[in-house]
Structure 1
Amino acid sequence: MADLQDDLHTAAEIGRADVPYPEEAVLVEPETFEPVSDPDADPLTRAHAVLAAHPVADGYNGLPQTLRRLSWYDLALGESAVETDVPRLRAGKVGAMFWSLHLPDGLTPDRAVAVTLDHLDLAKTVVAAHGEGLYPARTAGEVADARNRGRVAVLIGPAGAAALGDSLGVLRSLHTLGLRVLTLTGVSWAGPAGLTRFGEETVREMNRLGMIADLSYASEPTIRRVLTLSKAPVLFSRSASRELRPHPANLPDDLLADMARTRSLCMVPLAAEQSGPTVRDVADQLDHIRGVAGPECVGLSGTYDTGGACTQELADPSCYPRLIAELLRRGWEESDVALLTWGNVQRVLRGAAFAAHAVQQRRAPSTATVEELDR
């Protein structure tokens, strides 16, 4: 845990205090992209060219928990015991990943905090041990820096809300240690009935820190309240369309439309149960969500190393070019593919940082407790 102790004393990351920002939510415009492939080439060749310029930012990967069960592994040379390793990430043109720290159900608050710290420590240790292929990142700038260095950026999160132990002080400490995404489910203050007063205060403090809310598997009242309350875009780290495939984490069209109004991001999982068993099924999901929410609000989540069944032909991260080739066959513009793979995640990261800068001008760290707000 020595690395974690060192990180607790790092300097603040976000912005200068002398630059004013508006009180309303800060909306960050997407980048513009120039064509990079030969339109007469076959779709797979074009896919590789597009991904070389605009690699995949994968919204959900369970590798840290999978590695805990292994006594030895080598991600640099290739590891058959997992779905994710450096050679396959490079083959699939993956430029960034979010590593999940989700916990088993039923942990006490104190135990949930301790297990989260253990998982975070392992994730940081793994990245440090594979420095030629992986690169720790916390901001959009660091993600871009990793790409420029030829490495895969690793962002920590999402973690489950139980990781906080119902403490905003723990939230701040986890943010300092590198956690960037928190899933708002599985706790008393973000449940089937929506957010309590403490839940709302947690979202405000996340905005102040620049931590992104993940609403996959959240209840509809929680989703609607967070979309109204948050000053920054949110993520759905592994959600597809419920209209095409019923699943508890998938979203109906009205929620997709609400998400689009806040410039948030639905990241479609490459999981058979949620998105369908074939590449065409996943492409159908992406087509549908792009049509409802717009190209600026859809992304990708491999959900690799989570124990679930992968979509056929998308068994590991090396298979991303197959999916992009299918989208190009369907007539997707390269600019929309670039947003899907890279640009939308960068926009959300920048939006969280800009919103944090704005909120910090008028809000001190919250000292609220769940006992005083929800009793």
Structure 2
Amino acid sequence: MADLQDELHTTTEVGEFGDDLPESLPEPASTAFPAKPYAAGPGTSRLDRARALLAEHPVADGYSGLPWALRHLPWYDLEMGESAVDTDVPRLREGHVGALLWSLHLPESLDGDRAVGATMEQLDLVRTVVRMHPEGLRLAHSAGQITDVRHCGRIAVLLGPAGAAAVGDSLGILRSLHALGLRLLTLTGVSWASEAGLTRFGEEMLREMNRLGVLADLSGASGETIRRVLAVSKAPVVCTRSAARALRPHPANLPDDLLAQLGAVKGLCMVPLTAEQTGATVRDVADHLDHVRALAGAECVGLSGTYDAGTAHPQELGDASCYPYLVAELLRRGWPEADIALLTWGNVHRVLRGADFAAHAAQQRREPSTATIAELDG
């Protein structure tokens, strides 16, 4: 579908990254995280310490725009390295990325049947890409599977988020997409999840997502939608690309009251590494992580590279290999290793596990819904 390929913008960087971080830092306040310790002698640099920590607790990246970017390349080899994109297997390994969510988002001009069809094509593309790179990538659908993939020395690929338009206002299409591997759905851009909040059909869609184990992604959703989802959902919710609006007034960033509410229900705010949302330097990104951790708690903050999504990235964070620079900055600020372990891996694992648990419980209580939007919102 050639007409689907005209809205991707080339990714650019803000500045170049470099290793200018100070070399020494007092030991963090806590080292109590469930993994074997690593040796950090007196001559160990902070960047070396960051890499050692990431080797034990790799990054679970909340958003990659790679599928849409690959549609524009006539040929690519992600295992050997691909300079036309920000993400390939060598750079993922250098950045200690153990899992990433591959976005199925589409240009906003696509809706209705075109959005459903284009999402199916994206799903097919992701499966093909993973199959073409068996030494580096492997599909995963659950918390247990991403751990298994990591133990096999591969990088786990999870499918989603997709835009809500992809389900075509149909619970049956939602179930079909889930059967193909979809794990996250972004609740924006549809009549049942709008500025006014969730409609009756929107609430039924959310209940069916809970029953299936499809996580609700609230990045870009209206405040009313977010508040209603937090009240109704029986499973954890995530914001795959949201930072702190108090530090940078971007519409996808969350105000302090919503960050506090998200923390209260143990949701997950995944801070994007984009200049537009977080600022032009690695220290700006760390400021947002500090802010979200302070308001929502260490168990409710994660990372979202947002690479290959047509956005500019901060200095020192230009591609998927650069996560050690961010972790080194957090160590400089005195983040406990336990909190960094949650940030990079533990919180995503917890949310996926929570979605699976909620789905198992819901499936004991209710059958697949046959409701339609005409019945509930007509």
Instruction: Describe how 1:23-34 pairs up with structure 2 within 5 A.
Output: 32-33=34-35
Displacement, 1:103?
1.2
Whichever residue aligns with residue 244 of structure 1, its letter is L
Instruction: State the partner residue of 2:141.
Output: 138
- In structure 1, stretches of 5+ residues that fail to align are 1-30
Instruction: State the partner residue of 1:38.
Output: 40
Instruction: State the partner residue of 2:313.
Output: 310
Whichever residue aligns with residue 86 of structure 2, its letter is E
- In structure 2, stretches of 5+ residues that fail to align are 1-32
Displacement, 1:37?
4.6
Structure 1 counterpart of 2:191, from 185, 188, 191: 188
Whichever residue aligns with residue 63 of structure 2, its letter is Y
Q: TM-score normalized by structure 2?
A: 0.90
Instruction: State the partner residue of 1:97.
Output: 100
Q: Are residue 325 (structure 1) and residue 328 (structure 2) matched?
A: yes
Q: Are residue 240 (structure 1) and residue 243 (structure 2) matched?
A: yes
Displacement, 1:36?
3.2
Instruction: State the partner residue of 1:198.
Output: 201
- What do you get for the CA RMSD once the two structures are aligned? 1.2
Give, in whole Å, the separation in 2 of the partners of 1:110 and 1:252. Answer: 34
Instruction: State the partner residue of 1:127.
Output: 130
C-alpha contact (below 8 Å) 1:55/1:94 kept by paired residues: yes
Instruction: State the partner residue of 2:225.
Output: 222
Q: Are residue 59 (structure 1) and residue 59 (structure 2) matched?
A: no
The alignment partner of 1:106 has SS state of coil
Give, in whole Å, the separation in 1 of the partners of 2:304 and 2:318. Answer: 13
Instruction: State the partner residue of 2:51.
Output: 48
Whichever residue aligns with residue 128 of structure 1, its letter is R
The alignment partner of 1:97 has SS state of strand
Whichever residue aligns with residue 100 of structure 1, its letter is S
Displacement, 1:107?
2.5
Q: Deviations over 1:192-214 (max 9, x none)?
A: 00000000000000000000000
Displacement, 1:111?
1.2
Displacement, 1:312?
1.0
Q: Are residue 213 (structure 1) and residue 235 (structure 2) matched?
A: no
C-alpha contact (below 8 Å) 1:35/1:335 kept by paired residues: no
Give, in whole Å, the separation in 2 of the partners of 1:330 and 1:149. Answer: 33
Give, in whole Å, the separation in 2 of the partners of 1:231 and 1:32. Answer: 27
Q: Deviations over 1:60-97 (max 9, x none)?
A: 00000000011111111100100000000000000000
Give, in whole Å, the separation in 2 of the partners of 1:374 and 1:34. Answer: 54
Q: Are residue 76 (structure 1) and residue 79 (structure 2) matched?
A: yes
Instruction: State the partner residue of 1:270.
Output: 273
The alignment partner of 2:315 has SS state of coil
C-alpha contact (below 8 Å) 1:295/1:336 kept by paired residues: yes
- The number of residues matched between the two structures is 346
Instruction: State the partner residue of 1:5.
Output: none
Instruction: State the partner residue of 2:258.
Output: 255
